[in-house]
Every structure is written in C-alpha cells, then in structure tokens.
Amino acid sequence: MKIFYSDTHRRHYPPFEIFDGGKRVPYLENPDRMDQILSALEKTDWAELIEPADFGLDPIRAVHDEDYLNFLATCWDEWLASDPKVAAAPEENAFLPATFALRRSTRKPVTLLGKGGYYMMDLSACIVAGTYPAALSSANCALSAAQFVAENSTRAFALCRPPGHHAGKDYAGGYCFINNASVAANWLSSKGKVALLDIDYHAGNGTQDIFYERDDVLTISIHGDPEFEYPHYIGFADETGAGAGLGFHKNFPLAAGTTDAQYLSALDESLGMIQKFAPKFLVLSTGMDTFDGDPLGSFKVSRNGFAEIGKRISALNLPTAIIMEGGYANKALGENIVTLLEQF
C-alpha cells in the first residue's frame, strides 16, 4: 500500500493547549502519534512510504475561504512582530485568542486577535511558526493519495498531521486547520461521485460545513453524540443537508460506551447508504479515537473491532483514499491503524 507522508508535520508542535476548565496541558496532537504509526508500519511487508507532491493552493482554495487561508499563512509572523514578549521566547508560546465570535456575521475583524476569534473555533487549534507549512503538507498528503487512487483504481493511505475534519470553510478547530479529507474529496469529485465516510470518534463538523449543500459528495459521520461530546454544536441526527444537498448528509451520534457490535450496526447502515449512492470513489476520514481507552473518547471499540471495520469498508470494493484524523492512545495507535489498513 502507498503511504503518503511528510516529516514537515514536526514543525507543528505547540507547547500547550487549553482543556475544559482552563487547564493548560501538553499538546495531545503531537508528533509522537506519527512516530507510533510509522514504527508499526515499518514492521509490515506491505507499506511503502512516499513523499507527497505539491498541488499548490488551488485545490485548497476550492474548499476553504481565501481570507481564512491568508490568516493561517500570516498569523504567526504578525503576532511575533506585534509582541516583543512572544518574539523573545517563541518556543514557549502559541497563538490563541481570548475572544471568540459568539454569532458569525459578514463583518470580519481587522485586528489579529479579532481575526483569531473569528477564524478559530476553540483552544486546541494553537498556531505556532510551523503550523501553516505543516497544514499544507498534510493537505498534499491527502491530495497525493486521492490522485493515486484515481489513477490506479486502488487504495492509498495519507498519513496526515495535523488532522483536518474539524476545519470548516473558514475556521480552524479541534487540532485541524485545513480539511484534508474534504480537499481530497472535492478534488476527486471532478472525476465522479464521491462518498466521504468519517469514522473518527468526534463529529466531522468541518466536513459537514463544507459539503452540506452539495449532492455530488455524500458525507456520513459516525461519532460520539454532541449532546455530551465535542464539538457540541453540530453532528446531530436531524442535520441531513440543505438545498441541493438535502438528504446527502447523515450523522450517526452514538452513546458513550458504544461497543464493537453497536458501532458495527451504525457502520452497516452507513455502508448501505454508500452502496445506494453508488459513488466512483470513497474517502475515509480515519480516526482511531473510538478505541477503548483513548483519552479523548468514550467508546469501547477493540482492536478486533478495527479489523472488522476495515473488512466491511474494504468490501465496498471502491477506490479509497484513507485519510488519517485523530487517535490519542499513542501506545496503541500504530497497531490499531495497521490492523484497520491490513483489511485493505
């Protein structure tokens, strides 16, 4: 299997994030996640690592607001230039606003911190010097996988970091800055219908935002119920698309403690929808934070469960771009993702 990966992700390593209650903690979405996966892949006889191609900004601009991308590109340097304390110790700092846009409007702020609150959803989307290059590289991994899948009618894995499915058209959130899976799905959509299945523990709010009014990309997300789980404000069962996209989005919000059998039941319903849609391509947003014991999840999916999930999705027999999203039980992460990938 072709694995598209770039070490550029290491440039994005914020020194902290802010948890609920205002607690400052070490950044959970860290380079060790990739090291654990790389170590597990090295033990296989089927993984071939490849540097991604550079697709430029056009495929990303096709999904994300240009002003938002400009903010990501310039934020750190502008903040560094405006604050001598940050400039004196950049390695100890991460850009985070303290004020967020409670209700969105067409009026965009002009100050840096104002733009931060407008373009950022939460306190985990920390920006440091290497964030934007890492996000671009991550998107290029997804695009490279999509291109390989389209040209060879096969499967490929984009080992993306930072992840992407919480990034909307014009906002960052949940460790995500560019929506890698959506960029890949949109690129593939010019070649035929696409289904995008999100199996990360958290609702793919950014993906939902991007495709909610489109009927050429079917989007499905299986996740922890936002009644109790992040992102709280999106991902409910009655959100099924709008306009031309009505009926082309489906959320499966599941209860805490969801077991393998319960998860697989929702997955089977999802796969039935995909078969009915009859896409030419599948994009799989692949989070491993459904694992029993993940620090940011509450599901009880086992390693055997991941094998069965992979087996059932693979049985669709579709050209598939598998895009890495979350998963924070680092010691188990590598073996978990390899267990799923082996089914492809």
| Active-site annotation holder among 165, 166, 202, 249 | 166
Rounded Cα gap, residues 80 and 2, in angstroms: 39
Cα 55 from Cα 136, distance rounded (Å): 9
Token representation of residue 241:
């698309």
Would you say 101 and 224 are in contact if contact means Cβ atoms under 8 Å apart?
Answer: no
How wide is the angle at C-alpha 165 spanned by C-alphas 49 and 300, nearest 5°? Answer: 85
C-alpha 202 chain-centroid distance: 10
Strand order in the sheet with 320-324: 48-50, 2-4, 155-158, 320-324, 281-286, 194-198, 217-224, 249-254
Is 166 a catalytic site residue? yes
Active site residue ranges: 166
